Structures are given as structure tokens and as C-alpha cells.
Structure 1
Amino acid sequence: MTSEPAAPAPRVLAVIPARGGSKGVPGKNLAAVGGIPLVARAVLACTCSRRVSDVVVSTDDPSIAEVARTAGAQVVLRPVAIAGDTATSEAAVLHAMDAYEEKAGAATDVVILVQCTSPFITSEEIDGVVAAVTDGGADTAHTVAPFHGFVWRESDAVSGGTITGSGEAPAGTSTEAATDGGAFGVNHDKATRPRRQDRPQDLLETGAAYAMRAAGFRTAGHRFFGRTALVRTDPARVLEIDEPADLERARALAPLLDPRAATPTRDDIDAVVIDFDGTQTDDRVLIDAEGNETVSVHRGDGLGIAALRRAGLPVLILSTETNPVVAARARKLQVPVLHGIDRKDLALKQWCEENGIAPERVLYAGNDVNDLGCFGLVGWPVAVAGAHDVVRAAARAVTTAHGGYGAIREIAAWLLGPTLAR
């Protein structure tokens, strides 16, 4: 007796809409939270998902496209007709599905809309909405969070709907306040205030992830057709970035909520390799009348490098610049230097071979696109704060200090502890 072959896994496409224009927060989708651009955060959550087959970013912006590709997504360039302020997310998803299916030569079974504006979305949440459709029999699913608040509305604040100032209130709400022209309860009657445990559980749509059967989505044209499943998430992680204050809140919360905030320890690292300009300096150069160049470095970085040397960690400075200031700084720090290097990744690979160091045990700190080759070679690529967006997106960890302002001292503290130089 022969067994039936296993059914192929459903093809699950994650689509991340990311326009270049944003009035509320200019450049929002490239804004960094926890050192990682919002679009890259969404891509990383999708690529870490067990159930997502492919990830596509729909954008009209070349910079967003570059960051998205670096983070591991395919890119679909969005036409002008669906790139304006009035364009819907559904239109972007349908266009991206068409472009993806034409390229892949295969139909999509499930499509997920993932929003960049939810910076703390996790791969587990993405897997949850997909499972609700593929395994749970739902047509659509989206993330929600438990909500216990009493919602109020002012009757004169509603236009074109049920409340017009005449005193009529939606079903299930208090009519007393609406009748007298005052505020009314949307999810409660103000005359009856039951305890939280005695009220039905309200659920807040988080705006993070929406999964849909692809064929049904094409027919309906919206994300809530058929039977909708709700996938509960942690309310502490719910934050949508619509205003500048939301972005500041997200940045403050990132160290507490971001699973990518992990930093390496001494047990993870056998060598530290450091770029120079923009990493050990603030990326500025002062030039006098004779053409001599001067840069600014941070004393704390020198202390950190000295501590790394005392701990027995090999340290190398690797730079494309031929400026003698690089060699002078290396002599001061008593570390070897390779400078005037066109292909830093090849030089780093050769250095690792000559010193018997496995690249996956190397921490490389950099700030600009010429460091990306080294990022792809080592186990711990680290970007300094203020690094190029693409570099931050490719980094495994990001310092809170900028280049030239103690970033290397911070890295040394990760490896050796905060009191290393005291």
C-alpha cells in the first residue's frame, strides 16, 4: 500500500507597502528605530517567519528600494497612479501580487499585508495570521490586542454618519448623552459602568499584519472578506507611527521591546576590526591652507581599544583612506592598520586567513556602503549610530553612540563590561 504524496506547502507572499512620501513624518519608512530603518524592520520580521515564502516591498522611492533589497526583500516599483496620498494599501498589494506572480510564474495562495508603521511586529505574529488562514480555515486574519478602555465620542464630532447632532446614537451605546448633545459612550452606557471582568472583551486592531486568501482578496478587493480570524498580540508591543511623537516613543521603547537589540559578548568574538572615517571619527575633515587634513577622535574609543588589547582580542584598523592620519592613529593605539584598501572585504579575508581567525568570529564596525562587503563576510557586522540607512539595515547590532563620539568604547563595553576602562 502506497501513501499519498504530501500536499505542497502554500505559497505565502508578504507585501510591504512603503511609499517615499509621508506628510505626517517625512521620510518615515526610512526612519530608524533601534538603529534599523522601519522598512528593514518589516522585511526582517517577514524573512524570519517560518511560513512566508517570499517578501516584496512595493515602493516608488529608490532609497527605500535599496534598503529593502539589502534587508532581503524583492522590490516592486509602484507606478505613480498608486503612489499618491490617496492610494490604498489594497491597490499596492494587488499590483505587487501581479508583478510577483508574473516573475515567479506561479500563483500566490495567501498574501499578507505587513505595515512598516508597526515597528515592533514579530515573525511569530506574521506566522499567526498566516496559520489562521492556512490551518484555521479563515478567509482573512489580522492582529489585534486586548483593549479595556471606555471609548467616548462627542456627538457633534460625527458628520455624515449616524450622529448628526439630532441625538441619535449607534446601537448599543448610551442615548442619554446623545440626546442632550453631549458626549456618549461608544462601547458602554455611561449610566452603567460594569467592572472590567464583567464586560465583553474589546479587541483593538493593531494595523500590523493582515493575511488573506489570495483568490478571495482579488475578488473582494479589500482585506476583510469572508470569515475573519483575530490573532491576539501583546498590547505592550502595539504602536503605530503616524506622527513624529510616535517615532520618538518607538525609539525610546526599542531597547526594551526589540529582539534584535542583542549585542555580542566576549564569548562570541575572536577579533575586532574597525573602519576609520565615520566610525572612529565624526566623518568630518578639516583642511588648512597647506592642504593638511585633521580629524577628530574620541578619547573613550582609545580607552576601549586599549582594554580590548589587554583582554587579548586582536584589533585591526581597516580603511580605504591613504591619509597619514590613519597610520598615526594606529601607532598611537598600538594596533595594526591596513589602509589605502580598495576591496576591504578581500583584505579582511586575507587577514583572517593569515591570523587563523574564523570570519564568523569577527566583529566589524563600520558606517558606510564601502563596509557592506565586510558586513557580508563577518559574523558580527556592527553599524555605528548615524551610519548610512543601508548599512544599519545590514547590521546585526547598532551602537547608540555616533562615530567619533564613543561608538568604539560602547562596543568594547559590550564585550568586556561597562567598567572596562576605569
Structure 2
Amino acid sequence: MKILGLIPARGGSKGIPGKNIKSLDGKPLLQYTYEAAKNSTLLSSVILSSDDPEIIRIAKEIGLEVPFIRPAALAADGTSSLEVIQHALNFFAQKGQNFDAVCLLQVTSPLRRNGLIDAAIEQFSKGKFDSLISVREVPAEFNPHWIFEQNNGQLAIATGEKEIISRRQDLPKAYHRDGAIYITKTEVLQKQNSLYGNKIGFIDTTGDPHVNIDTPADWEKAERLLTIFREQ
């Protein structure tokens, strides 16, 4: 299976200015994701998609391939990951290069354990999924079966059930995306115009150190977790 590793990193971060190339423990944030991708044996190619000249310059300095400059229209706050992926696929298709799937690796998740990307790809291939995402288990108190939504001034169980599950032991496991890995078949991305499709696989990273950097507090958390991450 031919899989494109795609690292998106646009300029103009507001929460943490220059976030994608800001130094985290002596390395630009971007480098953590690139090193994880570079250590994969199952990614056919790893590239950066960016609109920002400084991000592109630093990416090239660390050895990351930058085959194109992303159009400004695809680097706005409202631009979806799907649009960024489709742009990259179309770029390569015009050059006669095609991929079976794309592995999206967000720069804001720098703490991927060794072998995680290849384990995810293997699971994706064996399960014949439309897509596969990395997830973390939702704590019981936030399980959707224990969550209420407001409806006409009243509360209703978010799952639509009439009776709440009373015992914690009876709750089905629930997960949330952790942002580290998204793998999707090209035909799903292009023909279904979807990042997920219908059959979604997952790889559980609940036991791993994790941060998805969006705020200064997240950045501080990443600095603390790096010590734990190095010991894995």
C-alpha cells in the first residue's frame, strides 16, 4: 500500500505566535512530527504542506520535503484538513503520482511513541477500514451515556436513552480523537469527500503521554511531558 505522510503547518497561529516552528526543548515543534514520520517504514513519502516561507525554510533545513507552496486560500482559519489533503493529492496526481491512502500528522501532537505510526498503518491495512484515527479513552464522568444536553429548557441524556446507565461498570467504552494520526483511503477522500468514510478503525493511545498544543498552557504541559516521553 502506497501511503503519503502529510504534515500540515500553516502560518498565522494566533494562540501561540509562530507555534509550528517555535522551539520546544531545543527543537522546532515541527521537527518532532517529522522525526516520528521519518522513523516510519510504511510511509511511502513524507511531505510538508505550508503557505509560510519561514516554516518552509525551517522544514527544508531539517530535511523535510516541501514539493509545493500551499495557496493562501487554503491557509485560512476556516480551511479544513480535508481540503488541504485533497490539494496535496491533486498536486501529485497531476504529476502522475498516486497514493492509496494519506496519513495526516498534525504538528500540534509532538509526543508520538516509537512505532505508533507503523502500528496504526498495519491496523488500518489489516482491518480494511475507510479510515483509522488515534484515540484516547473518555473518563467515565464524561462518557456520553452520562452526559446531558439541554432541550427546550430541560435536560436529556445525550445518547437519546430514556434511562441513565447507573453503574460505571456497565458503561461502554467511549473515545475521543487525540489528533496524532488520521489515515484515510484516497478514494474516500476524493470520491466521498470525507476524512472518515463509513468504516472507521482506531488505535488507542490512552496510556501514552499526550498533548495537543493549542494554548500557552498546552505548551507548558508539553515541556513537562517531554521528560516522561524520553523515558519510553
SS in 1 for 2:115: helix
**Stretches of structure 1 lacking an aligned partner (at least 5 in a row):** 1-9, 157-162, 176-188, 261-422
Given the superposition, is the C-alpha separation of residues 36 and 131 from structure 1 closer, same or farther in structure 2, using an over 3 Å criterion?
same
Q: Does 1:239 align with 2:207?
A: no
Cα deviation for residue 250 of structure 1 reads 0.2
> In the aligned structure 1, how far is the partner of 2:152 from the partner of 2:217?
32
Cα deviation for residue 166 of structure 1 reads 4.3
Correspondent of 1:46 among 37, 41, 45: 37
Q: How does 1:363-402 map to 2 (within 5 A)?
A: none
Given the superposition, is the C-alpha separation of residues 122 and 214 from structure 1 closer, same or farther in structure 2, using an over 3 Å criterion?
farther
Cα deviation per residue 1:237-274 (whole Å; 9 max; x = unaligned)?
221111110001101111221379xxxxxxxxxxxxxx
Contact 1:18–1:29 (CA under 8 A) maintained in structure 2? yes
Contact 1:49–1:127 (CA under 8 A) maintained in structure 2? yes
Q: Does 1:18 align with 2:6?
A: no
> In the aligned structure 1, how far is the partner of 2:5 from the partner of 2:113?
13
Q: Match for 1:211: what amino acid? A: I
Aligned-residue RMSD, C-alpha: 2.3
Cα deviation for residue 68 of structure 1 reads 1.7
Correspondent of 1:80 among 62, 72, 77: 72
Q: Which residue in the other structure is 1:28 paired with?
A: 19
SS in 2 for 1:235: coil
> In the aligned structure 1, how far is the partner of 2:196 from the partner of 2:209?
23
Q: Which residue in the other structure is 1:381 paired with?
A: none
Contact 1:118–1:238 (CA under 8 A) maintained in structure 2? yes
Cα deviation per residue 1:268-317 (whole Å; 9 max; x = unaligned)?
xxxxxxxxxxxxxxxxxxxxxxxxxxxxxxxxxxxxxxxxxxxxxxxxxx
Q: Does 1:252 align with 2:221?
A: no
Contact 1:57–1:74 (CA under 8 A) maintained in structure 2? yes
Correspondent of 2:62 among 38, 47, 71: 71
Q: Match for 1:237: what amino acid? A: P
Cα deviation for residue 233 of structure 1 reads 1.5
Q: Does 1:206 align with 2:197?
A: no
- In percent, how many aligned pairs have the same letter? 31
> In the aligned structure 2, how far is the partner of 1:259 from the partner of 1:221?
40
Q: Match for 2:26: what amino acid? A: G
Q: Which residue in the other structure is 1:108 paired with?
A: 99
Q: How does 1:8-407 map to 2 (within 5 A)?
A: 10-75=1-66, 76-103=68-95, 105-151=96-142, 155=149, 163-172=151-160, 189=164, 192=166, 194-195=167-168, 197-258=169-230
**Stretches of structure 2 lacking an aligned partner (at least 5 in a row):** none
Contact 1:25–1:243 (CA under 8 A) maintained in structure 2? yes
Cα deviation for residue 214 of structure 1 reads 1.0
SS in 2 for 1:87: coil
Cα deviation for residue 61 of structure 1 reads 0.8
> In the aligned structure 2, how far is the partner of 1:122 from the partner of 1:72?
21
> In the aligned structure 2, how far is the partner of 1:169 from the partner of 1:200?
15
Please give the TM-score of this superposition, normalised by the length of structure 1: 0.50
> In the aligned structure 2, how far is the partner of 1:259 from the partner of 1:110?
32
Q: Match for 1:46: what amino acid? A: A
Q: Match for 1:251: what amino acid? A: E
Q: Match for 2:57: what amino acid? A: E
> In the aligned structure 1, how far is the partner of 2:175 from the partner of 2:76?
31
> In the aligned structure 2, how far is the partner of 1:51 from the partner of 1:198?
38
Larger CA Rg, structure 1 vs 2: 1
Please give the TM-score of this superposition, normalised by the length of structure 2: 0.88
> In the aligned structure 2, how far is the partner of 1:235 from the partner of 1:47?
23
Contact 1:44–1:71 (CA under 8 A) maintained in structure 2? no
With a CA cutoff of 8 Å and minimum separation of 6, indicate the structure with the bigger relative contact order. 2
Cα deviation for residue 67 of structure 1 reads 1.9
Q: Match for 1:205: what amino acid? A: R
Contact 2:136–2:205 (CA under 8 A) maintained in structure 1? yes
Cα deviation for residue 174 of structure 1 reads 6.9
Q: Match for 2:76: what amino acid? A: G
SS in 2 for 1:74: coil
Contact 1:40–1:67 (CA under 8 A) maintained in structure 2? no
Cα deviation per residue 1:109-163 (whole Å; 9 max; x = unaligned)?
111111111110235221122222323211110111233331276755xxxxxx3
Given the superposition, is the C-alpha separation of residues 26 and 165 from structure 1 closer, same or farther in structure 2, using an over 3 Å criterion?
farther
Q: Match for 2:35: what amino acid? A: L
